[in-house]
Copies of this chain bind each other. A is one copy, B any other.
Amino acid sequence: MGTNRSYPSDLTERLLAGVPPDARDAIVAGSRTRTVRSGEVLFRTGEPAELLFVLRKGRVQFSRESRSGHEIVMGILGPGDVFGIGSILTQRVHYLGTAQALDHGEVLVWTRETILALNDRYPQLSENALFVALRYAAEFADRHERLVTVTAEQRLVGALTRLGVRNGVRTPTGIEIRIKNEQLASLADVSPFTASRLLQQWERDGVLHKGRGFVRIICPEKFPLD
């Protein structure tokens, strides 16, 4: 099996919630710690779901590629996030997106075989996975609702604030988000041009500061409301 004997404070909380400490040890012991380089692809859309991941350090982009070639970013994952959940199923399924590291980082990895055996002993695993899966479903549903109801500007505001809360880091001058225009645009379902223009405008209004590869939100309450 694996090589881990200890587990990080609560970075596996989503997967191991409600699991007693000794069982946690056993489960984490079945994983392998793996470091990933920036840009490394962990799996691709449509591949059989053979591995389960918990992100420890760094960020991972979850995306799809449309046949017209352009990338649809479905989410930016951060430490603690669980992905590759299909691997917990006895029935084989396929990954529904591509996972690609955005930074140098670290993940816990279980093989399907291992996680299935563990789930046999600790069925709480699949229950927790169900919780995670439902959260993903809810996120997709929310995003879809926004896409068909609100304007491009409102979607961009929403995407920025969500990113700020989940992936932003506090700095003396505001909340900094490491993201490129193109990713941000895709997350908000807006063209990169529209994203650029709106960011531009908000920078003039003193709401945020931006540079290549990042946005720093200075004054979130000054975002347009309606």
State in angstroms the CA–CA spacing of A129 and B91 once bound together.
12
B89 touches A138 (CB 8 A): no
From B17, B74, B126, B140, give the contact of A130 (CB < 8 A): B126
B66 touches A145 (CB 8 A): yes
Residue of A64, A138, A141 most packed against chain B (CB within 10 A): A141
Give residues 43-79 of A contacting B (CB, 8 Å).
Answer: 64, 66-68, 70, 72, 74
| Distance from A154 Cβ to chain B, minimum over Cβ atoms (Å) | 12
Residue A117 interfacial (CB < 8 Å): no
Given the interface pairs A66-B149, A149-B68, the reply to whether A93 lies near B134 with Cβ below 8 Å is: yes
State in angstroms the CA–CA spacing of A97 and B140 once bound together.
12
Given the interface pairs A90-B127, A141-B64, the reply to whether A85 lies near B134 with Cβ below 8 Å is: yes
Residue of A17, A70, A126, A134 most packed against chain B (CB within 10 A): A134
Count identical subunits in the complex.
Answer: 2
Which of the four size classes fits the interface of chain A? 35 or more
From B89, B97, B137, B144, give the contact of A147 (CB < 8 A): B144
| Distance from A195 Cβ to chain B, minimum over Cβ atoms (Å) | 14
B contact residues around A89 at 8 Å (CB): 127, 130-131, 134
State in angstroms the CA–CA spacing of A189 and B148 once bound together.
7
B contact residues around A72 at 8 Å (CB): 144-145, 148-149
B88 touches A127 (CB 8 A): yes
B contact residues around A74 at 8 Å (CB): 141, 144
State in angstroms the CA–CA spacing of A70 and B149 once bound together.
9
A contact set with B: CB distance below 8 Å:
17-18, 64, 66-68, 70, 72, 74, 85-86, 88-91, 93, 96-97, 119, 123, 126-127, 129-131, 133-134, 136-138, 140-141, 143-145, 147-149, 189
